[in-house]
Structure 1
C-alpha cells in the first residue's frame, strides 16, 4: 500500500504495528491508520471518529467469534454479558495502554479525565483501519484473540465482573428498540435482612412485563442481579 509522504510518521506507524503483532503490514492502508490515530482536537474533519464507528462493530464481531469458537458450550446470555465487558471502554483502554498506544495518538487536548475514553476510541479506530485495509479480520485476530480468550475466562470465573445490564439493554434495543426499566426499593431499616447483600431490591420491566428481580448491597448491584435473572430467563425461553 502507498506509504505516507511524511517518513517519520510512517516509521512511527510501522513501529506500532510491530508492537501490536500485525502479521502483514504490507496490506495496511497507511492513510487510514494515520487517520485512526488523529484525535478530533487536531482536526474537526480529518479525525478518527468514522473509523471508531467501524471499529466498534469490528471489536464486537471479534469478541463474538472468539467466544463462539473457543467456548461453544457457553450460553448465549453468558456470551452477551461477557462481550459487553470485553468491548467496554475500560478494557479497550487498558489494551491500548498495554501496547503503548498513546504516544502514537495525535492530540492537542491534555484532558486527563477523558484519557480512558480517548484511548478506547483510538483503539477502536485502529481496528477499523486494519479491517478496512483488507475487509477481513486477518490483520486483527492473530494478536487480539489471545487477549480476549484470557479475559473471557477471567471474567466468567468472577461473576461480579459480568455486565448483565449492558447485555440486557443491547438485547431489548435489538428486539424492541426500547430500554428496560428498573424499579428499585430500599428495605426499611426495621425490616432489613441481616444479610448486607439484600439492602436493595430491584425489578426489571419491559413493556409492562416483569423480566426479573434481584437484591444487592447497592442499587447497581441489585439492578445487575435483576438483569442477570432476566437475561437467563430470556435465553432459556429462546427469545
Structure 2
C-alpha cells in the first residue's frame, strides 16, 4: 500500500468518471502513474504498467473472443485478436474515450504528432494493467474493455480479410500449416496516370491462390491476399485439404 491521498485528487476522479472506469477497489496511485508519459517524468511513468498491460490485453481479448465466438476457428480467433490488440485499435478506443486530455506529457512530446498513436496505445495498456492489479484478475478489465471490442470483433467476423488481407492470410496459413504465402509482384504498366501499375499473385505451396492489381506493390498484394484468403477459407472448410 502507499500513502496516496484519499479521496483522490478531483482531476483523477474526473478522469475515472469520464473514462467509465469502475471505482471499486481501484488502485488510484497506479492509475495516476498510468497517465504519466516517460517524457514528463523519467522516474515515475507508465512504462512498466504498459509492459504488463500488453499481456493483460492479449489475455482479456482472447477470453472475450472465446466466449463470444465459441464456434469460430482458431485461425479466425487468432486473426481477430491480432487486430483487436493492435496499436491502431487501441488508439481508436483512446480517442473515443477522450483519454488524451488526462495524459501528462512534456510540451516537446505533445508536439510530436507522429508519436501520438503510440502514446495513446501505451496509456490504454497501462490502464488495463491498473485494472488487473487492482483486483488481481480480469474482473475490472472485461466490463471496461469488452464493450469496445464487441463492435470491432463483429465487423472483423463479418469480413475478416477486409481490414488487412495480407495479415489475415498469413495468420491463417501460419496457424494451420506453419508456412507463409509467397507473393509474386511485378510492374505491369508504365502509362502515365494508369491507376493499376502493379500486378501480384499469391502462391501457397506451389498453388496459385489469387491475383490482384493496384497502384502500388502493397495495394496489389493486398488485393491478391483478399482473393487468396477466400480461397483458403473455402479449402479449410472442406473435408479434405489439398495442403495436408
By the TM > 0.5 criterion, same fold?
yes
Q: CA RMSD in A?
A: 3.8
Deviations 1:21-77 (A, max 9, x none): 333x24222222122111010122321112112111222222222221111222222
Q: How does 1:95-134 map to 2 (within 5 A)?
A: 95-108=93-106, 109-110=109-110, 111-134=112-135
Unaligned runs of 5+ in 1: 191-195
Structure 2 residue aligned with 1:19: 18
Distance in structure 1 (CA, Å) of the matches to 2:203 and 2:48: 34
Structure 2 residue aligned with 1:4: 4
Q: From the superposition, tell whether residues 170 and 158 of structure 1 become closer, same or farther in structure 2 (CA, over 3 Å).
A: closer
225-234 or 73-82: bigger deviation: 225-234
Structure 2 residue aligned with 1:201: 200
- Relative to the length of structure 1, the TM-score reads 0.75
**Superposition deviation, residue 187 in structure 1:** 3.5
Distance in structure 2 (CA, Å) of the matches to 1:198 and 1:11: 57
Q: How does 1:55-134 map to 2 (within 5 A)?
A: 55-108=53-106, 109-110=109-110, 111-134=112-135
Aligned pairs, number: 230
- Relative to the length of structure 2, the TM-score reads 0.73
**Superposition deviation, residue 113 in structure 1:** 2.6
Q: Secondary structure at the match of 1:114?
A: helix
Distance in structure 2 (CA, Å) of the matches to 1:41 and 1:178: 41
Distance in structure 2 (CA, Å) of the matches to 1:171 and 1:10: 48
